């Protein structure tokens, strides 16, 4: 149930961003793979813990403030893994806004504060 709720939240946030001209990216690390597919994906650069949504575009006028936005989506009771925490810290060290989001409303507030409410 929790995964389905996170997927619905993610789809809503992606639609909100796309409606404003932005192109969020999802790293599909969570899909079940065979051992062989997993090994191939790892060689190709798959990393566990990468946040659910990455936004490489920065609203006009905010380029000096941050390099991008990374959101790890969780339900109100969802747990953040050690690898997810490490990725959030790594991104923050590189001028990204990286955070855990627990509702679509929380995401919209953050994105609006950062200027993503304006059409790109």
- Model confidence pLDDT, tens digit, residues 54-85: 999 999 999 999 999 999 999 999 999 999 99
Mean pLDDT of 90-112: 98
**Domain spans, the chain:** 2-113
CATH code linked to domain 2-113:
3.40.1350.10
Q: How many angstroms separate the CA atoms of 71 and 63, rounded?
A: 18
What is the rounded average pLDDT for all residues in the chain? 92
Q: Global pTM?
A: 0.90
The pLDDT value given to residue 2: 60
Q: How many angstroms separate the CA atoms of 63 and 114, rounded?
A: 11
Q: How far is CA 57 from the centre of its chain?
A: 13
Q: How many angstroms separate the CA atoms of 19 and 81, rounded?
A: 31
Q: How many angstroms separate the CA atoms of 72 and 41, rounded?
A: 21
């Amino acid at each position: 149930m929790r995964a389905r709720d996170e997927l619905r939240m993610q789809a809503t946030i992606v639609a909100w961003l796309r409606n404003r001209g932005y192109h969020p990216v999802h790293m599909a690390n969570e899909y079940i793979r065979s051992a062989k597919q997993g090994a191939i994906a790892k060689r190709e650069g798959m990393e566990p813990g990468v946040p659910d949504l990455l936004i490489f575009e920065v609203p006009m006028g905010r380029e000096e403030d941050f390099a991008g936005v990374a959101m790890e989506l969780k339900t109100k009771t969802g747990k953040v893994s050690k690898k997810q925490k490490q990725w959030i810290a790594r991104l923050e060290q590189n001028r990204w806004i990286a955070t855990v989001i627990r509702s679509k409303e929380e995401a919209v507030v953050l994105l609006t504060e950062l200027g993503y409410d304006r059409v790109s």
